[in-house]
Structure 1
Amino acid sequence: MVKISLQINATLEQVEELYTNHPHYAFLLKLKCLSCGECPDVWHDVIESKTYPSKTGKSDTHYSAKCKLCGRENSLSIIEGTNEKYTNDDQGRFKSIVTFDCRGIEPVEFTPTDGWIAKIEESGRLFEDINLAEKEWVEYDERIGQSVGIYDFQSQFIKIK
């Protein structure tokens, strides 16, 4: 079992908090088999609210599949309680927003999709179902009379001990 955290970094304009619509957000991941090194060019969605029976029968998992190259059964689960918010104070550095329990596979790439939520600093307004596929988002908040946005969205994975 290997624990791997997804970290993000972004520039926030008038945004106090950025987070996913947990537990229904679909983390879109490319996965690598640790047994044979196979890393197909396929995106897999991992959603905490959806579980599947584990092939070993020990516990449910959020993603399970057999490697098409070596045949190994691999699984990945979101560790409960690890979903975090990226805040205005976190700008300029990477912060872990979710941690995965990986068994036989590891995520190697993440692409953000729709389902993000931004809380605006001055007005407290929530912009929901934001799509960050283009790695940026810009909107206008009528309450404060200013543009708000998310820019330079980046992500990385780190192993947790």
Structure 2
Amino acid sequence: MVRVGLQISATLENIERIETCHPNYSFFVKVKCTNCGETSEKWHDITESERLQGASDSRNPDGFNFYMKCKMCSRENSIDIVEKTNEPYTQDDAGKFKAIVVFDCRGVEPVEFSPRAGWIVHSAENGQKFEDVDLSEDDWVEYDQKNKNSVGVYEFASQFVKLKK
């Protein structure tokens, strides 16, 4: 079992924080089997509020957030989102990588992240709240009517890092 943190980095313009619509946000990832090294070509979604009932073991009798059997080596693999690890990305974090969620990985690890829609953006200085923001283009710009200024998320980047327990 390996814990992997999803870290993001972005430049924020007039934004207090961005966050996922936890626990219903779908993290779209490509994964790699740690047994044979096979990397998936398709995107898989992992949502904390969804449990796969058909796949379980003694540690997770309620199932997993993600389960797959490797096409190459037939190994059974799973990923769970670690409860209470969702963190917002704030203006103090801007320009630096920060972990926003932690995955508990068994036999498979995420290697690529696609942010897509479902983000919540809070403008600075008690400004407007934008919901279901799509960050799939790595940049997002809007106008805050309350504060009468532009807001934006630029140069969105992500990486996965192995964490110590």
TM-score, length of structure 1 as denominator length: 0.97
Q: Secondary structure at the match of 1:89?
A: coil
1:21 maps to 2:24: no
User: Identity of counterpart residues, as a percentage?
Assistant: 52
Question: What is the aligned partner in structure 2 of residue 137 from structure 1?
Answer: 140
> What does 1:35-74 correspond to in 2, within 5 Å?
35-53=35-53, 54-59=55-60, 60-74=63-77
Q: CA deviation at 1:151?
A: 0.2
Q: CA deviation at 1:146?
A: 0.7
Tell me which amino acid in the other structure corresponds to 1:95. K
Q: CA RMSD in A?
A: 0.9
Question: What is the aligned partner in structure 1 of residue 5 from structure 2?
Answer: 5
Deviations 1:20-50 (A, max 9, x none): 0000000000000011100021100000010
Q: CA deviation at 1:2?
A: 0.1
Distance (whole Å) between structure 2 residues aligned to residue 144 and residue 124 of structure 1: 6
Q: Secondary structure at the match of 1:90?
A: coil
Tell me which amino acid in the other structure corresponds to 2:148. G
Q: Which aligned segments of 4 or more residues in structure 1 are displaced greater than 6 angstroms?
A: none
Structure 2 stretches of 5 or more lacking a match? none
Distance (whole Å) between structure 1 residues aligned to residue 40 and residue 161 of structure 2: 21
Aligned length: 161
Q: CA deviation at 1:123?
A: 3.2
